[in-house]
Amino acid sequence: MFSGRYDHTIDEKGRVSIPARFREVLQRQNHDRLYITNFIEDSQRCLDLYPPAEWERVIRKFEERRSSDRASQLFETFYVGGAYEVPVDRQGRILIPPKLRDFAGLGHEVTFSAKHNRFQLWERARLDQILHAAEEQLVQDPEFLNKIGIVL
């Protein structure tokens, strides 16, 4: 569904333009809104953004599990409870809620990064650090892809 990384800026009102390629995918599926929530990847804060159909799949997974496991409940509270539904305006922008901007430490310069069925929004410098670390891992360990079960 989604692919690529795109640098953008957040305006003074907290709005950001969705990358054109991501908007094309959303428009093909007749989506005029997104679900946006807090997430932590590699010990770093970012935001996950989902088209409605994909968000509904996430919710169904939680409903199917109905776990009494404390860790599962905490994650559901964090992830689902932290979500906002945001409309996409006519210019292809969304308003990032202040709580989520603060959580992810988003300043003016941000990067959208695809995750197949969703995409993420990162503070640009933070994602650059993560990508650099990933590159170092690949250079230092040529068998890394085999270890994680990916054969290219």
Q: Picking from 74-83, 87-96, 103-112, which range would have the lowest pLDDT averaged per residue? A: 74-83
**What are 131-142's pLDDT values in tens digits?**
999 888 888 887
pLDDT of residue 152: 63
Residue 151 has pLDDT above 70, yes or no: no
pLDDT for 3 beyond 70: yes
- Separation between Cα atoms, residue 39 and residue 50, nearest integer Å: 12
Catalogue all structural domains in the chain, each as residue range(s) with its CATH number: 5-124 (3.40.1550.20)
Compute, in degrees rounded to 10, the torsion defined by CA atoms 39, 45, 46, 51: 0
